[in-house]
A and B are shown apart, each in its own frame.
Chain A
Amino acid sequence: METVDNNLNPKHYPQGRAETPTSTLGIKQKGSIFPWLTKVISKWDTFLEISGRLLSILSFLLVGLVVFNVLSRYLFNYSWLALQELEWHLFSILFLIPMAWTLKRDQHVRVDFFYQKFSKPRQGLVNGLGQLFFTLPFSIIMIIVSWGWVGQSYSLSEASPDPGGLPARYILKAIIPISFFLLAIQALADLIKTFVLSPSGKLASTHISSENTESCKESP
């Protein structure tokens, strides 16, 4: 843990390094060894953030869609099967694709009984090991096993079995590998942040940034 102090001490940095004070990562970049890597990661963060915010509009659309279907059924006694299928299509997209964004914002529930008492570097270590041994294998296996399954659906050009349902069901099925791909990339980005850009693990939990404190974790 002495490296923490080294990081704080500017004497340890070679001269002539580009010094940008902060980035969207919230990481002090003057310590980074690979400026391009930092850049790539900060691009990725921005991408996740923007796409996540756009996707969150789906929750409102979902409310509107459900209400529309209810009204059309009870007031006009008419229901569109395609629109009803769209309900759970939207729902699927709403929970699967933002998995990576939710991970980045540290909104996945932890059993933080011991975790909250850990020091920052130790929390960073837990996160790093978790991404390496849990998130990455989980995502990769999910991509592999769902890939063939989606391909099968595509080769059959599978659609809704009901008349009037939505076509191209393989697109919805493809959401699974896509989401886990995004999750794997986020895990990788987090690993790089933890072990490459801040080898001490000191800044490992920077993705739990201050903007996060505003959020309320759903609790029972």
Chain B
Amino acid sequence: MIILFFLVVLLALFLGFPVALTLGGVSILMGLCFLESTFLELLPLRVWGIMTNPLLLSVPLFVFMGLILQKSGIAEALLNSASVLLGKRKAGLALAVVIVGGILAATTGIVGATVVTMGLISLPAMLKQGYKPQLALGTIAASGTLGQIIPPSVVLVLLGSVLNVSVGDLFIGALFPGLLLISFYLLYIGVLATFFPQFVRVQESTITENLSLTNQQNPAIQSEVEKTKVFDNTLSHDELHKRSDQLPQADPTIYNKISRLMIALLPATLLIVAVLGTLFAGIASPTEAAGVGAAGALLIALMQKKISRKDFYEVLRQTTWITSMVFTILVGASAFSLVFRGLGGDVQIIDFLNHTQLSREHFIWLVMGVVFIAGFFIDFIEIIFIIVPILLPLLGHLNIDPLWFGILIALNLQTSFLTPPFGFALFYLKGVAPPTITTSQIYRGVLPFIGMQFTILILIYFFPSLVRVNWF
């Protein structure tokens, strides 16, 4: 029965009707057929639980903050000045992309936007400088997904609410793995540039080829820009490329460059300090930190006069849609988990575990495999709301630390978004890359980064103390 229920849900989901409503609908129909009608009367209580959860309140605030930063072009300013500073050095651009990706992750946490922004701005500049396309593509895709793991990330907020772990703890726990990831990326690029300089050296044949191709009109990019609205409406595709073309020869003096970078960095840094600082110092709750961050982002955008009235309304609308979308899924998923429990699903899973004598290690690797593969097809929100709650009772049963488990899942999801052939980040990047870039180049480019992801995943698996809340 429970397997039938699960299969029907899966099948229905793959039809492509909105996830939230499919989950709700299938669960209600199954509940009507096989459960007592009084059982479904628990549903309003579940919805009420979502409404009164103070943690979930931080999600619209973080979304608001991310969208404001996206619209106000802070990402663009950062990338531009970082590239100006580091652009002429060996592998400088690639390093700049990783660092800026990390900073953007700590401010917006929206993977799609980060990948698209960096793909549009840095990719042409990197190709022009003669980077091997694989390296450029891999760096951008991997750095763009950092938003999943670097706090404050919506993934961690939702995981915290499902796993009953303090979001502050999850943020602190994710900080070290996130930094470790960034240093791995940087190290890899540095080593590559030192020992295999052909990866970053100017190659006459490719440079001219890429140049001519990056400058031609690309309708795919055009539509992607409009779709994601990463930039102002006024900024056309051509202007973007012009800007990135001008990068390396912009300012002559190093002081000038540094001061420009500082000015560009200042707002982002202030926000990171305001949000993460107050949170980690235990002064503010996640919701308060998110609220202050959102207001701060708006203030910065207003002071720099970088956000128009039209953009602002767009931010409001998108915040509403995203909030409604996320929590409708949660409502649908709570209907699902209610019916799942009503049909005895949780008991059956524990029975199955007892029956097969699955060890703690095997269980973790099984879950990681399922989450990894699920990440190809469905969004992180569904994975967190559907799969994780089913596993929750087993964590206590098998004596698994939910905080550590949560970080493993977040890292795993991030890797999954990067992995060919279905990773979301790869689709975004393909969408904004010049037409000469082949899919297989993107695949080959991300492979080393996936290797690093797995290394860290395994490191954290074997050394759980890497994820800790009290560092001092």
What mask results when residues 126 to 146 of chain A are scored 1 for a CB within 8 Å of chain B, else 0? 110110011101100110011
Q: Are B227 and A214 in contact (CB under 8 A)?
A: yes
Q: Nearest chain-A residue to B39 (Cβ)?
A: A145
Can you list 27 pairs linking A and B with CB atoms under 8 Å apart? A55-B320, A56-B319, A59-B320, A59-B323, A69-B288, A92-B51, A94-B60, A95-B323, A98-B323, A102-B325, A109-B20, A109-B382, A110-B16, A111-B14, A111-B19, A133-B29, A134-B25, A138-B24, A138-B25, A149-B44, A176-B47, A213-B227, A214-B314, A215-B317, A216-B70, A218-B110, A220-B379
Query: Considering the chains assembled together, what is the distance between the CA atoms of A145 and B321 in angstroms?
Result: 26
Q: What is the minimal beta-carbon distance from B297 to any residue of chain A, in angstroms? A: 9
Residue of B113, B284, B295 touching A216 (CB-CB under 8 A): B113
B329 at the interface (CB under 8 A from A): yes
A83 at the interface (CB under 8 A from B): no
Size bracket of the B interface: 35 or more
- B311-341 interface with A by 8 A CB criterion: 313-314, 316-329, 332, 335
Query: Considering the chains assembled together, what is the distance between the CA atoms of A52 and B324 in angstroms?
Result: 11
Known contacts: A94-B323, A103-B18. The answer to whether A134 contacts B12 by CB under 8 A is: yes
Q: Nearest chain-B residue to A60 (Cβ)?
A: B316
Contacts of A219 in B (CB 8 A): 110-112, 379, 424, 428
Interface residues of A (CB under 8 A from B): 52-53, 55-60, 62-64, 66-67, 69-70, 74, 87-88, 91-92, 94-96, 98-99, 101-103, 105, 107-116, 118, 123, 126-127, 129-130, 133-135, 137-138, 141-142, 145-146, 148-150, 172-173, 176, 213-220
Contacts of A60 in B (CB 8 A): 64, 316
Contacts of A149 in B (CB 8 A): 41, 44-45
Contacts of A96 in B (CB 8 A): 47, 51, 324, 327
Query: Considering the chains assembled together, what is the distance between the CA atoms of A129 and B168 in angstroms?
Result: 42
Q: How many A-B residue pairs have CB under 8 A?
A: 244
Query: Considering the chains assembled together, what is the distance between the CA atoms of A175 and B323 in angstroms?
Result: 16
Q: Nearest chain-B residue to A93 (Cβ)?
A: B51
Known contacts: A102-B328, A213-B223, A220-B424. The answer to whether A59 contacts B316 by CB under 8 A is: yes
Q: Are A137 and B25 in contact (CB under 8 A)?
A: yes
Secondary structure of the B contact surface, majority rule: helix
- B1-35 interface with A by 8 A CB criterion: 12-22, 24-26, 28-29, 32
Residue of A53, A66, A88, A102 touching B52 (CB-CB under 8 A): A88
Known contacts: A130-B21, A218-B325. The answer to whether A52 contacts B320 by CB under 8 A is: yes
Q: What is the minimal beta-carbon distance from B24 to any residue of chain A, in angstroms? A: 4
Interface residues of B (CB under 8 A from A): 12-22, 24-26, 28-29, 32, 40-41, 43-45, 47-48, 51-54, 56-57, 60-61, 63-64, 70, 110-113, 145, 147-148, 155, 223, 226-230, 283-284, 287-288, 290-292, 294-295, 298, 313-314, 316-329, 332, 335, 377-382, 413, 417, 424, 428
Residue of B15, B326, B332, B382 touching A115 (CB-CB under 8 A): B15
Contacts of A113 in B (CB 8 A): 14, 16, 377
Q: Are B18 and A108 in contact (CB under 8 A)?
A: yes
Q: Are A130 and B22 in contact (CB under 8 A)?
A: yes
Residue of A66, A110, A129, A218 touching B291 (CB-CB under 8 A): A66
Q: Are B379 and A63 in contact (CB under 8 A)?
A: no
Q: Are A216 and B112 in contact (CB under 8 A)?
A: yes
The 5 closest A-B pairs by CB, nearest first: A115-B16, A134-B25, A66-B291, A130-B17, A108-B18
Known contacts: A130-B15, A216-B112. The answer to whether A88 contacts B323 by CB under 8 A is: no
Q: Are A220 and B155 in contact (CB under 8 A)?
A: yes
Query: Considering the chains assembled together, what is the distance between the CA atoms of A145 and B32 in angstroms?
Result: 12
Q: Are A70 and B110 in contact (CB under 8 A)?
A: no
Q: Nearest chain-A residue to B284 (Cβ)?
A: A70
Q: Are A59 and B319 in contact (CB under 8 A)?
A: yes
Contacts of B29 in A (CB 8 A): 133, 137
Contacts of A101 in B (CB 8 A): 320-321, 324
Q: Nearest chain-B residue to A106 (Cβ)?
A: B18
Query: Considering the chains assembled together, what is the distance between the CA atoms of A188 and B381 in angstroms?
Result: 27
Q: Nearest chain-B residue to A146 (Cβ)?
A: B44
Query: Considering the chains assembled together, what is the distance between the CA atoms of A108 and B174 in angstroms?
Result: 29
Q: What is the minimal beta-carbon distance from B388 to any residue of chain A, in angstroms? A: 15
Known contacts: A70-B292, A142-B43, A220-B111. The answer to whether A112 contacts B51 by CB under 8 A is: no
Q: What is the minimal beta-carbon distance from A117 to any residue of chain B, in angstroms? A: 9
Residue of A58, A67, A87, A220 touching B417 (CB-CB under 8 A): A220
Q: Are A63 and B61 in contact (CB under 8 A)?
A: yes
Q: What is the minimal beta-carbon distance from A170 to any residue of chain B, in angstroms? A: 12
